[in-house]
Structures are given as structure tokens and as C-alpha cells.
Amino acid sequence: MNHHSMILLITHYGYAGISIALFLGIVGIPLPIEIILLGAGYIAVKTNLHLGGIIGFAWLGACAGMTVNYLLGKSIGLERISKVTKWIKLSESRLENWAEHFKKHGAILLLVGFYVAGLRHAAPFIAGAIKLRFTKFISISYLGAMAWILVIVFLGQKLGKAWDHMFIHFHHPLWLIVAAGVVGLGLLGVKKMVRQQKLPS
């Protein structure tokens, strides 16, 4: 989805379009939700929407997506979902290994997961699969979602007028390389953090 189609989508559906986009992006559909948040100020101007409304409805969509993934994890479990994830080389044993880390560092992984593509989708699912208490899950994940949204929107505001140039060139392969690098660094950071904080068995 390029920036023109994204603007058209949000112009047509308004706040609901933003909420749906964030919901689908959290559930796992490949949508540029970070770009929507980074460009919130730009989108607000182009679509005559209020920045506060964009943030609020983005948060509702993110919370809904996190909740759906949690409930799926709770009802499906790791063993059944591994039959699907094995096609992307994510075996049941690896999921179980993540689950063990999650039992010890679940709160941290839920918060950090928002900033790492992949972990953002897996974290609530694993939380449900290990039967993390729902009230604890929503208190952490909903707060984390708002913090994540505000951080990215703030960064987007700091970029200011650079958004016109960045949106135009977003389709360039360089952006894919940069995005892959950010995700890779995020995954390495999470792995190192978990390793350092792992409690002795």
C-alpha cells in the first residue's frame, strides 16, 4: 500500500479506516502501520482529521488486534498454531522456548514487542497460550500500545515537512533495507535482553 492509497482509504473511512488499519496490522496483515503513525500529522492535514482522534482510534484498533491475538492464543494453543508457523520455520519447540521466556519476562516482551515486527503479533498470542491472566494482559498491552503510538507519532511530528519527500520515495528499495535493518536490530536487542535477564533454572 503506497501513501496515495493509504490517504484515500483514510479519507474515505475516516477514523474507522485508521482503527481498522491498526487492527489488521496488529493481527498480522502486512500493512504499513508504522508509516500511518509516523505520518499522523501529515495525514491529519491531508484528510482534515484531528491528530488526537487519529491517535485515539489507532489505539482502539491496536488494542482490539492485541485482544484478538490473545484470545486466539488462548483457544488454539501453541501446538495447533505450530502446524501453520512451521512453514515459516517457526517450530513448536521454538514457540515453546519463547513461551518459557514469556513466563519469566512476559511484561517486558509485551511492551518491547510493539517496536519489533513479528514479536508484536506473536507476543499477545503467546500470552494467551500460556494463560496469562487477562486483566494483567490488557493492563500491560493497552498501556504499551498507547506509549508505542505516542512515541511514533512524536517522532513523525519531529520529521515535519520531511514527510512529503519520504512518502514519495517510500516505495524505493532503500526503505525496505532500512526497515529490515531496524527490525533486525530490534530482534537482536530483545534476544540479548532476554538472555541477560534469564533467571537460573
pLDDT in tens, 112-146: 888 877 778 788 888 888 888 999 999 999 999 99
pLDDT confidence bin for 174, thresholds 50/70/90: very low
Q: Taking Cα atoms as reference points, which of 147, 132, 128 lies closest to residue 68?
A: 128
Listed in sequence order, the residues at least 6 apart from 40 whose beta carbon sits closer than 8 Å to its beta carbon are 51, 54, 55, 58, 153, 156, 157
pLDDT confidence bin for 58, thresholds 50/70/90: very high
Q: In this predicted model, which residue has the larger pLDDT, 170 or 154?
A: 154
pLDDT of residue 109: 82
Cβ of 171: how many Cβ atoms within 10 Å? 11
Mean pLDDT of 152-157: 84
SS3 assignment, position 160: coil
Burial (CB count within 10 angstroms: exposed 0-12, middle 13-18, buried 19+), residue 40: buried
C-alpha cell at 163: 514527510
pLDDT in tens, 76-117: 877 777 666 565 556 667 777 777 877 777 788 888 888 877
Mean pLDDT of 7-31: 82
Q: Which residue, chain included where needed, has cell 512453514?
A: 87
Question: Distance (Å, rounded) from C-alpha 147 to C-alpha 144?
Answer: 5
Distances (CA, A) of 165 to 3, 157, 190: 11, 14, 32
pLDDT confidence bin for 161, thresholds 50/70/90: low
CB 128 within 8 Å of CB 69? yes
Distances (CA, A) of 155 to 38, 90, 159, 193: 7, 33, 6, 24
Region of 49 please: left (phi>0), alpha (psi -120 to 50) or beta.
beta
Amino acid (one-letter) located at 179: A
Q: What is the mean pLDDT of the chain?
A: 76
pLDDT in tens, 24-53: 888 877 777 887 788 787 778 777 888 899
% residues pLDDT > 70 (the chain): 70
Question: Distance (Å, rounded) from C-alpha 181 to C-alpha 113?
Answer: 16
pLDDT of residue 172: 46
Mean pLDDT of 4-20: 79
Q: What is the CA radius of gyration of the chain?
A: 17
